[in-house]
Chains A and B, each alone.
Chain A
């Protein structure tokens, strides 16, 4: 009886905390979903938790060649939307691949190779995480202009890599540090060189760390707003994050369209996390040692 009384408030507290957390995380997404399904006229009235009337006209505006808006046929935004979606995907995937590849090899060097200034160099790289992006924005802009890399995939990818590499490097370094060195020594004695050992022994066993780095980098790149706002002025490289707020016109803010596009923009990262999550298994190292 006593234990029931003492744990009951605890249980209620837990349920309350979890509910709050879920509402906090998913509430905005739900709001966005409801807005994207509400007819434009209803959006101007009192907000409601559940759409009184469901419409797909905002999504039609994204996908169709033309669509009806307030009784008029209008040009759809599909050309812009699809280009921005492709740009988001291309820059995020490029940044992820390059970052993870450099982190995989670089972190190994920071852990297993002996060279003067190794730890100092690592601290210097990680310390760049503490520099706010806006402080380097202007010099970076000048630099990118002189390199002719404004509005190019190369330029955006390079900026993303330099921004997200320190975190990935840090993560991979701790992954390698936790790995018993005897596995690598066994491979060396078996006749493998450093690179072969890294690629065939160390990297397969570091898969969870590599995937975690990939997810972090992809999500960071996908959500970037300020960098592309400055460095992607045209649809040549402009991603969704910059395009969607542009659905604000001089006379009209298209809330429904913005939210429909936002909901669609959530899908790729969610799919990626769901897919890669399967490989985030623990216990890869089981059986290596006693």
Chain B
């Protein structure tokens, strides 16, 4: 178990800078996810922590000790690779015991440690098999077993589930989370799948173009996205965004779109005439009757039933929006919706930053 501290971390490939000074403190025993689109630098960051990529600037410390110039093998970390990277010429048991053998651990102890890990992962019947005789999910488990068998200070996961089919991915997600809880080992998990990040992590780090956009607990990030990037990146279907201008009418503040749609705002510290973007999560648009106060007319284009809920695609004025309704929706061409309490997120359109209520 360990803390990981990243200070002003920079990565350059030649003249091109791909990571621009990242700061991040990972607590002991924490499960933290690095999430972002491909090319955002999340895998590079992970590989720098592992020691597989050189550090161009800044520091990485594990348990308070700088590891910038420490070889990967001396950092006492284990990594689960996206493509598993099992040693194909070694049996499952030898794959898992490889690191202990290198540390000159006595043979009986290796056998015991491998058995223990195999029990934990349900791999006991397969210990004598070669990797090629295993299914994808079993190979994934062996890769996990290889990581846990030597009790490292930090686990690194590089998109470990992206090669599995959807059903297995959900199952392994739960297993990894449960395993991490049980072992209590600090874990850094790279993924592009927001569901994985949301469900598994204590905190998530959203990366974009080599910069940290936001760090926080999954629901905090969901409820209070720090900027427009995070607002649209987290949540599926994505948050509805409506471009508007802040207007004051006496005490009352509202956002007015150029086609005359008026959305009432609570008390925000915005000046009259500020260009803003109003964000509304699809589940915060509720179907109401036309007489309800604040009802907005929605022209419906498409209704998508998913089973447990319904996605309704339509337009508020000229603005495309999605509504998630928890019940089934009959085929129709128009309806009224209202914005649920606390359903509005306000962003400064010039900076993209969230505006907090005053």
Contact = CB atoms under 8 A, between A and B. Distances in A.
Contact of A201 (B77, B84, B87, B163): B87
Contact of B81 (A185, A204, A286, A287): A185
B131 A287 contact: yes
Contacts of A288: 83-88, 131
B98 interface: yes
Given A196-B102, A287-B132, A290-B163, A188 B72 contact: yes
Range for the number of chain B residues in contact with chain A: 20 to 34
Given A187-B98, A190-B99, A191-B102, A182 B73 contact: no
B50 interface: yes
Contacts of B73: 188-193
A205 interface: yes
Contact of B79 (A189, A191, A192, A289): A189
B98 A190 contact: yes
Contacts of B79: 185-186, 189
A185 B131 contact: no
A286 B102 CA distance: 24
B133 interface: yes
Nearest to B142: A287
Q: Determine which residue in A186, A191, A286, A289 has the highest number of CB atoms from chain B within 10 A of its CB, and name it.
A: A186
Contacts of B82: 182
B87 A183 contact: yes
A290 B77 contact: no
A182 B83 contact: yes
Contact of A205 (B89, B102, B134, B136): B89
Interface string A269-290: 0000000000000011111111
Given A189-B79, A190-B146, A191-B103, A286 B88 contact: yes
Residue among A182, A192, A205 with the highest chain B CB neighbour number at 10 A: A182
A131 B57 CA distance: 47
A191 B147 CA distance: 12
Contacts of A188: 51-52, 71-73
Contacts of A196: 102
Interface string A167-202: 000000000000010110111111111001000010
Nearest to A286: B132
A284 B52 contact: no
Given A180-B85, A191-B102, A290 B136 contact: yes
Contacts of B146: 186, 190
Given A204-B89, A283-B132, A288-B83, 14 more contacts: A180-B83, A182-B82, A185-B52, A186-B146, A190-B73, A190-B78, A190-B98, A191-B99, A192-B98, A193-B73, A196-B102, A205-B88, A287-B132, A288-B84
Interface of A: 180, 182-183, 185-193, 196, 201, 204-205, 283-290
28 contacts: A180-B83, A185-B52, A185-B81, A187-B87, A187-B98, A188-B51, A188-B52, A188-B73, A189-B50, A189-B72, A190-B73, A190-B98, A190-B150, A191-B99, A286-B88, A287-B88, A287-B130, A287-B132, A287-B133, A287-B134, A288-B84, A288-B85, A288-B87, A288-B88, A288-B131, A289-B83, A290-B136, A290-B139
Interface of B: 50-52, 71-73, 77-79, 81-89, 98-99, 102-103, 130-134, 136, 139, 146, 150, 163
Closest 3 CB pairs of A and B: A287-B132, A287-B131, A289-B83
